[in-house]
Amino acid sequence: MELHKNIKHTFSALMLLMASVSFAQEIVVHDPVVIKQKETYYLYCTGKGISVFSSKDLKSWNPEPPVFKDKPVWADGVAADFKNHIWAPDISLHNNVYYLYYSVSAFAKNTSAIGVATNTTLDPKDKKYKWVDQGIVIQSQPNRDMWNAIDPNLIFDENNTPWLSFGSFWEGLKMVKLNPDLKSIAQPQEWHTIAKRKRTFELPDSDPGDGALEAPFIFKKNGYYYQFLSWDLCCRGEKSTYKVVVGRSKNITGPYVDKDGKSLNEGGGSILVQGDEKYYGTGHNSAYTFDGKDYIFYHAYEKKTNGTPRLVVREMLWDTDLWPVLK
């Protein structure tokens, strides 16, 4: 009887531990962002016309219609013969309007632009449901810009001023002040570099090498702005080396520093999650507070399926020095 009781208690504890640590999803995603409307979570990610999923519990996800049936009318003017495969969205609610930023780009080039679409509801069954494209917010061009206009993330500072962080490779991750309409850059323009890694000079543009970083996501908590970003290489299946690092600042525009006090503009960054026995690489995260708990969402290249990108959702806690730790 005592042995049976111990086995039962051990099994119960194991199941509780498994439930609390994290839950990987069977859906295939890249670059997930999430928002909650009423009792439903909506996930937006890279895909044809922007892929969409819905869930009631953050565990079981159902596919929804894509945001764009047809590619944005301006897309071909940015990336010739664009196939409507839209990258790395970002979703926010402000003044009862949903703002969905997204990336149009040519792979391995900074021929890119960030657009934004708006809607008053996220429920496809609602009669008011309709995404309205508002056009280009910011655009990068080769031989002109040393940054890449992809991977947007909208954040507001303590004065409710909107800022857009973004970037991938090149001369680092950037932040620019927006107008209150959230659709255009404020004048006079104010730009900041918020993360950067040194890159071997001789490498071709198609090889990021040791300078690979992208996908900033700013999360306000504990009196800090935490910048999450991804280092190294995504999108290579079994050869993916993606990892999430973090730094923080008291000011939204930085400077951001890691746990050792090293500036993210000088290659700093404290590793939060990386490849392990289950995944080749993990990255391009978002972070939110839902029902009093903090969560991180990211995609991970699963080993047992030869590098398929899976959704991973984990609760995020905070250590005594107010740095994030994953449950």
Catalytic residue IDs: 31, 214
The dihedral through the CA atoms of 24, 26, 31, 36 has a sign that is: negative
Run of H or E including 2 = helix 2-21
According to DSSP, the residues that pair with 36 across neighbouring strands are: 41
**Within 13 Å of residue 227, how many CA atoms lie on the same side as its CB?**
37
Calpha distance 171→160 (Å, rounded):
28
Distances (CA, A) of 85 to 47, 50, 70, 106: 5, 7, 10, 10
Rg of the Cα atoms in the chain? 20
Sequence-separated contacts (24+) of 59-67 with Cβ below 8 Å: 59/23, 59/25, 59/313, 61/25, 61/27, 61/311, 63/27, 64/124, 65/124, 67/100, 67/102, 67/117, 67/131
Q: Is 104 helix (H, G, I), strand (E, B) or coil?
A: strand
In this structure, the chain runs to a length of 327
Calpha distance 267→253 (Å, rounded):
17
Run of H or E including 267 = none
